[in-house]
Amino acid sequence: MEISVIIPALNEAADIRAAVLSALQAAEVIVVDGGSTDDTAGEALLSGARVIKTARGRGGQMDAGALQAKGEALLFLHADTLLPEGWRDGVLAALGDKRVVGGAFRLSVSAKGSRFRLLEAGANMRASVLGLIYGDQAIFARKEDFLNSGGFRKLPLMEDVDCVRRLRQYGRVVLLKESVATSSRRWAKRGVLRNALRNLFILALYYAGMKPERLYSYYYKN
């Protein structure tokens, strides 16, 4: 089974090369640029990725990459996140079970400190116990099931939780034992506790029925 790795990016010139290089076991790496004003596209090309350009919006960017991907399986990787060594074997082993339609990795944060270890523990408990999987955990899925489920529906926010909920209608979604390593930058910017509470509030609003477009407006204005 061939795996296509899809990386949505916007002004990620500083980090995109490392993300692409961590994914080179894939049959292809597609960087979907949402209108960067830096050299994201150039860095991605130099690292061995194929670059396509779309309008800004992570859900739409990933959907565009999925439509152009040639792999039977898709893996969606954030530009500030690195896949672990041997990641391909883990994905293939999971998808070797025909009951499994997709999954994700556990989360680790590339920073020292007990607050980040607590953050990791909380995120991994949320994913394993509640089944709430976020995009920074590198979601993967069989391409056919991903497309049949509607993909990310071009949503600007909560596209990850929304997609995983629909994928579960087609089979099991599993959490691998391996961990991706994601940057601490968004927690460093707002603080771990504040960012965690903010994300919980957004999640609650999503489950209460607020449209992702309104959530996006709130999320990026606060």
* Domain interval for residue 19: 3-184
Number of domains within the chain: 1
Residue 221 lies in a domain: no
CATH number, domain containing residue 52: 3.90.550.10
43-102 pLDDT, tens digit per residue, is 999 999 999 999 999 999 999 999 999 999 999 999 999 999 999 999 999 999 999 999
Residue 210 lies in a domain: no
What whole-number distance in Å separates Cα of residue 27 and Cα of residue 204? 38
More confident residue, 130 or 177: 177
* pLDDT in the model for residue 186: 77
Backbone angles phi, psi at 7, to 5 degrees: -120, 110
In angstroms, the Cα distances linking 111 to 77, 114, 137, 175, 181 are: 19, 10, 16, 22, 9
Residue 204 lies in a domain: no
Residue 191 lies in a domain: no
Residue 163 lies in a domain: yes
3-class secondary-structure state, position 31: strand
In angstroms, the Cα distances linking 33 to 50, 58, 163, 171 are: 10, 10, 21, 31
Q: Give me the percent of the chain exceeding a pLDDT of 90.
A: 73
Residue 201 lies in a domain: no
b/e 166-193 (16+ beta carbons within 10 angstroms → b):
bbeebbebbbbebbbbbbbeebeeeebe
Query: Is the per-residue pLDDT at 137 higher than 60?
Result: yes
